[in-house]
A and B are shown apart, each in its own frame.
Chain A
Amino acid sequence: MATLLEVNNLRKLFTLHILNHKEIDALRDVNFSIEEGEIIGLTGKSGSGKSTLMKSIYRTYLVSNGEINYLSNTFGLIDLVKANEHQILLLRQKEITYCSQFLKVIPRVTAIDVVADTIIKKESERPAAREVALDLLKRLGLPKELWDAFPSTFSGGEQQRINIARAIIAKPRFLLVDEPTASLDNKTKDVVIDLILELKNAGTSVLCITHDEYTLNKLADRKIHLQHGQIVEQIYA
């Protein structure tokens, strides 16, 4: 198996100009790699830099130093730190999906369309996409009466399921997922774990932040533990 992602000497320093140029050292000397089809569990206390690392890979954060070499289908080997914005947008569209802990969507779009929207380019594709979305929402156990309701009024766990469905429906090559099983009951948790494992079996690599031991043990091929912005431990399952 080839290496999908290689992170070298990553550093992320936040400079807050409006607070007298205060600096926050969020990540230092981060080095690791992910193989194709591998699931890495990212652990560490709140504030240890897990989400910062994930967002740096997705380019939501601009890193201060280092390289993130990604072996893409679209461009070949590409450094996500230096890639231009259009390249990043194309990779996000075709290969890399980020699933955050919070659902942020356009208001007044129904749950099923929020999920289907991710995979349609033209309105004519909507009926077929809605079928796929519906199957996912059914598997995730979202109550039937919510399928055509607006997600902003949903409970935390229901929103979480919409978020997972949106991320998984596109079958990305590389999935970044932040706390996929928090605020879910045990049965739904198992469904989410199965869905991620199905992606893995189809070749997807996953970087997964979780505090949940159960999810971690079921999913992760390798665990990376962060402390104060540095990797302190890597354990193979």
Chain B
Amino acid sequence: MLNNNNGKDWILKVENLTKIYGNYTDNTVTNTGPDLGTNICPETGSIVACAEISFELYPGEVLGIVGESGSGKSTIVQQLFFDLETTKGSALLRPYNGGKVNILEESNQKKRYMRNHLMGMVYQNPRDGLNFAFSSGGNIAEKLLMAGLFHVGKIRERASDLLSKTEVPVERMDDLPAYFSGGMQQRVQISKAIANNPPLLFLDEITSGLDVSVQARVLDLIRSLQRELGVAMIVVSHDLSVIRMLTDRTLVLKNGRIVERGLTDQILQDPQHEYTQLLVSSLL
């Protein structure tokens, strides 16, 4: 049997990613987890937000992370986007130094470079991803300036291009996001996240606060952007329908650990782990 991936290889490789809050000992990780049903260490009281997370992401692939609130989903992407310090573990990013260095241990300056040039993040709450004191166009300009584009005319052109792509009326480019509806704010945030054409995009519960009609448009937008730009994405969601519609493969998280991984349709139709079976059978 050939083990040919058709020339494709990972763009992001995460190994043993662990985030612990509080003082911990060598036993902390083994004292917690889905088998014990807790992420609080009985000895030290420290909280294991996620532990021993390993996975690979391929170029253009969409990977889902599901699990209940507090299972560690957001903690994973926040560490990879450098919003949170990592306790242990490594992440390799192919477009950065050929994927040979642990990006989590790089200097802040280099982390900023990666955020500006190689990654994008869309948060559940638009206030986390947008600066509400700047206009929507200004927010996109901010990202483009960081990525090294300084020509004002070109910035405005790119901004209006992105806003029309995400169906935000271009006439409102100079308005503050505070005057926009939640769905529109979310689409401005998406425009900002993809402004620098990143090869890697993190989406953290992006449809959770939106009503269903806006949800459908945001999902369709994400799908067409993915197809158009070939971006690799990590989609974090507790909503199995979002996972079903957007992702190829899925990781299931419980108490900070991966309890099951597989093709998304397999996870949803033939779940193996007790927790995934519970999750899927609870689907409305």
A and B co-occur in one complex: yes
Show the binding face of A for B, using Cβ within 8 Å.
14-18, 55, 59-62, 74-79, 82-90, 104, 106-109, 120-123
- The reply to whether A61 and B227 contact each other, CB–CB distance below 8 Å, is no
Which listed residue, A18, A60, A77, touches B265 by the CB 8 Å rule? A60
Please report the C-alpha to C-alpha distance between residue A104 and residue B224 in the assembled complex, in whole angstroms: 18
Show the binding face of B for A, using Cβ within 8 Å.
1-6, 8, 58, 61, 213, 216-217, 219-220, 223-224, 227-228, 244-245, 248-249, 262-263, 265-266, 269-270, 272-274, 277-278, 281
Q: Which of A89, A107, A122 has the most CB of B within 10 A?
A: A107
Residues of B within 8 A of A77 (CB): 1
- The reply to whether B1 and A82 contact each other, CB–CB distance below 8 Å, is yes
Q: Which residue of B lies closest to A109 (CB)?
A: B220
Q: Nearest-CB distance from A186 to chain B (Å)? A: 32
- The reply to whether A108 and B1 contact each other, CB–CB distance below 8 Å, is no
- The reply to whether A18 and B274 contact each other, CB–CB distance below 8 Å, is yes
**What are 14 A-B pairs at a CB distance below 8 A?**
A17-B274, A17-B277, A55-B270, A60-B270, A75-B2, A85-B249, A85-B262, A86-B61, A87-B5, A89-B249, A106-B220, A107-B216, A108-B220, A123-B227
Q: Nearest-CB distance from B12 to chain A (Å)? A: 14
Please report the C-alpha to C-alpha distance between residue A106 and residue B1 in the assembled complex, in whole angstroms: 36
- The reply to whether B2 and A78 contact each other, CB–CB distance below 8 Å, is yes
Please report the C-alpha to C-alpha distance between residue A116 and residue B98 in the assembled complex, in whole angstroms: 36
- The reply to whether A59 and B263 contact each other, CB–CB distance below 8 Å, is yes
Please report the C-alpha to C-alpha distance between residue A82 and residue B2 in the assembled complex, in whole angstroms: 11
Please report the C-alpha to C-alpha distance between residue A84 and residue B272 in the assembled complex, in whole angstroms: 17
Q: Which residue of B lies closest to A88 (CB)?
A: B263
Which listed residue, B244, B249, B266, touches A60 by the CB 8 Å rule? B266
Which listed residue, A60, A79, A107, touches B263 by the CB 8 Å rule? A60
Supposing A106-B245, A123-B227 touch, asked if A61 and B274 sit within 8 A by C-beta, the answer is: no
- The reply to whether B263 and A85 contact each other, CB–CB distance below 8 Å, is yes
Residues of B within 8 A of A90 (CB): 5-6
- The reply to whether B262 and A62 contact each other, CB–CB distance below 8 Å, is yes
Which listed residue, B4, B249, B277, touches A16 by the CB 8 Å rule? B277
Residues of A within 8 A of B216 (CB): 106-108
